[in-house]
Amino acid sequence: MPEARKGNYFRWSLLLLLVLLLVAPALAALSGLFGQAGEHWPLLRSTLLPVYFQNTLVIAAGVILLSLILGIVPAVLLHRYSFPGSGILPLLLVLPLAIPAYINGMAYHALLDYASPLYVFLRQNFGFQSGPYLLFNLHSNLGVILVFSLSYYPYVFLLTRASLEAFNPSYDEAARLLGAGQSRVFLRLLLPHLRPAIVASLALVLMEVLNDYGLVRFFGVETFTTGIFNAWFVLRDSTAAFRLAGLLLLFAFLLFFAEKWQRPQIATRQRLTHRPHRRLNISGLPAVAILLISTFPFVFGFAVPALQLAAMSVKAWSLITRPDFGELMTNSLILAFGAGALATILALLLLTLSRKLQSRISGFLILFATAGYALPGAVIAIGMLMLVNTMAFNPVMSAFAGWLLTATIAVLMYAYVARFITASWNSVESGAGALGRSQLEAARLSGAPSWLVFSDIVWPALKPSVFAGFVMVSMDVLKELPLTLLLRPFNFDTLAIRAFEYAADERLAEASPYALLIVVAGFLPVWIMRKNKMI
C-alpha cells in the first residue's frame, strides 16, 4: 500500500510539473495585465487601442458571417442532394486548410494588383478601372475578412457536416407529414440541432483569426497582433507588448471555453444511432447549379490562389537551387519534426498519467495544459520572452536553466510544444479511446508483462493516432509565423519567414516557391483527415 501511494504521489507530481511547464507561457503573458505600465502605454491606450479593438471586432464579425455562409451552404446541399461530383466535394472543400491565410492573401494581392496580368488585360481591352486594385481595395478590413473566411470556412463545413450526418431523418419526415415547410423545418428543427457545432466551429475560426499576423501585417490593417509586434519592435516597449498580449489572451480564453462548452453536446448528438439520411438524386440544370454553388468556396479558397502561386513559381523556381534554400529547408524541418516529436512524447506521457490517475482533477489539469491551440502565437511568444527575462535577472533560475537564454532554438521548440500539443493530445486520446478494456484486462490477468502488453496490444492501436498527431503538429509548426518571428535566433530563417519577408517587400514572385512548398506540405493533414474518415 505505501508503495502504491508513493507511485501515486510521483504521478501527481509529474503531472503537475508537465502542466506547469505547458501553461507557463500563457500565465506569464496573462501577468502582463497586472504589471507596471510602460511609458508608451497611456498614448497607446488613448490612440491605438480603440483602433485595435474596432478592427478586431469588425474583422471577427465579418469572418463569422461569411464563414457561416461558405461553410453551412455546401454542407446542407451535400447532405440533402446527390449529384455528379458530390462524392469528391467534401475533400475539395477542406483543401483551403492547406494554405495559410497570409499565403492566400499574397496570392490574391498578386492576382488583383494594378500591375497583375488580369487587371492589365481588363484595363487595356475593356477600359476597366477600379483604382489600385481590381474590383475593390484588397488592403482593407474587407480584404482581410474575405481572405480569412476563404481560408478558415472548412472548420464550419466539417463540424456542420458531421452534425448533419448525426441528425435523425425521422424528425424531418414527421415534421413534413404535419405540414411544415422546408424553411420551417430548417429553422425549428435543423438549426437548433446544428447550434453546438456552429458555435464550436466559429470559436475555432476566431482562434485562427486572433493568431494571425502575416495577413493583417501584409494588408496594413492594425489589430491586436500587429500592435504587439509594433510595441516590441518599433516602440521597443516590452511592457506595452506584454499588456496587449494579456488583453488578447482574455479573448482567446473566451473562445476556448465557448468551444469546450459546446463539445459535449456535439459528441452526445453524434453518438445517436439512426438510419442513414436518404439524399435526393438530381441531374440536369439543378445539379449544375448546386455543383457551382458547392464548389464556389473551394475555387476561391484553394484553386485560384494555388494556381496563382504555381504560375508565379514558374518564373522564380530557380531560387530553390540557391545555397540558402537548403539551409531554410533544414531549419524548417528541424523545427517541425523536433516539435512534432516532443509534442507526441508529452501527449503519450499525459495519456499514461490520465489512465493511471483516473481523476476529474487530473482530467481538468490535462485539459488546461492542452489548451495551447486557443492561444495566439504572439501571446505564447510574449509569455516565453517574459519567462526568459525573469530567468535572466534571477540568479537561482539562471543557474538552473541558463542554457535556455542562449539556446534560443530550445525556447522556440518549447513555445511550439506549448501551443500545438493540443493536436497531438487530441489524436492520441482518440486512438486510446479505440482500445478495448477487455483486451487489456485479459492480458493483465494472463500474467503478461507490461512491455509485452504495450508492444502487442497498445502500440498497434495507438500507432496510427501517434503518427497523425506528429504530422499535424509538424505541419502547424511549418506554417507558424508570428511565434517564429518573435522567438527565432538571429540569422535563423524558415520557409514561412522567407516567404513573408519577400511578400512584405513586394517581391511576390520570389516568395511564391517557398509559399508553394508550404502549401504542398499542408496536404498531409488533409490526407490524414481523409484516411481517418473525417472527410
- Over residues 1-18, the mean pLDDT reads 74
pLDDT in tens, 350-395: 888 887 777 888 888 888 888 877 778 888 888 888 887 777 666 6
The residues with which 133 forms a beta bridge, in sequence order, are 113
Q: Convert the pLDDT of each residue in 392-432 to its tens digit.
A: 666 666 666 555 555 578 888 888 999 888 888 888 887 77
Distance CA 258, CA 235 (A): 34
For residue 71, name the pLDDT band (cuts at 50, 70, 90). very high
Task: For residue 133, give the 3-state DSSP assignment.
Answer: strand
Q: What share of the chain is helix, strand, coil (3-state, %, to 5)?
A: 80, 0, 15
Residue 92 C-beta-side C-alpha neighbours within 13 Å = 18
Measure the N-to-C terminal CA separation of the chain; round to a whole number of Å. 49
C-alpha cell at 411: 525556447
Cβ atoms of residues 228 and 382 within 8 Å? yes
Three-state SS for 130? Answer: strand
Position with higher pLDDT, 3 vs 231 = 231
Position 114 scores a pLDDT of 82
As beta bridge partners, residue 280 has 81
Judged by DSSP in three states, 113 sits in: strand
Q: 90 or 263: which carries more pLDDT confidence?
A: 90
What is the spatial distance between Cα 247 and Cα 254, in angstroms, rounded to a whole number? 11
80 exposure class (CB count in 10 Å sphere: 0-12, 13-18, 19+): middle
Maximum mean pLDDT: which of 10-24, 110-124, 282-296, 436-450: 282-296
What percentage of the chain exceeds 70 in pLDDT?
80
C-beta separation of 235 from 40 below 8 A: yes
In the block, cell 494594378 appears at 114
CA pair distance 412, 431, nearest whole angstrom: 28
- Give 119 or 192, the one with higher predicted confidence: 119
DSSP, collapsed to helix, strand or coil, labels residue 132 as: strand
With cell 488580369, the residue in question is 118
Instruction: Answer whether 67's CB lies under 8 Å from 147's CB.
Output: no
Question: Residue 218, Cβ neighbours under 10 Å: how many?
Answer: 22
| Burial class for 223, CB neighbours closer than 10 Å (0-12, 13-18, 19+) | buried
Phi, psi dihedrals of residue 393, rounded to the nearest 5° = -100, 10
Q: Which residue has the higher pLDDT, 295 or 363?
A: 295
Q: Report the pLDDT averaged over residues 301-312.
A: 90
Torsion angle defined by CA atoms of residues 326, 327, 331 and 333, in that order, rounded to the nearest 10 degrees: 10
User: What is the CATH number that goes with domain 36-309?
Assistant: 1.10.3720.10
How much is the mean pLDDT over the chain?
Answer: 80
- Identify the band that residue 69 occupies on the pLDDT scale cut at 50, 70 and 90: very high
Structure-block grid coordinates of residue 456? 502487442
Interatomic CA distance for residues 132 and 271, integer angstroms: 52
Domain extent listing, the chain: 36-309
Q: Give the pLDDT of residue 393.
A: 67
Query: Positive or negative, the Cα torsion across 203, 204, 210, 216?
Result: negative
For 477-525, the pLDDT digits (tens) are 888 888 888 888 888 888 888 888 888 887 888 888 888 888 888 877 7
Reading the block at residue 338, the C-alpha cell is 523536433
Residue carrying C-alpha cell 488583453: 247
Kindly write down the DSSP assignment for every residue of 348-407, as one continuous string. Answer: HHHHHHHHHH--HHHHHHHHHHT-GGGS-HHHHHHHHHHHHHHHHT-HHHHHHHTHHHH-
pTM of the full structure: 0.85
Region of poorest pLDDT, from 232-236, 285-289, 458-462: 458-462
Which position has the grid cell 462548452? 261
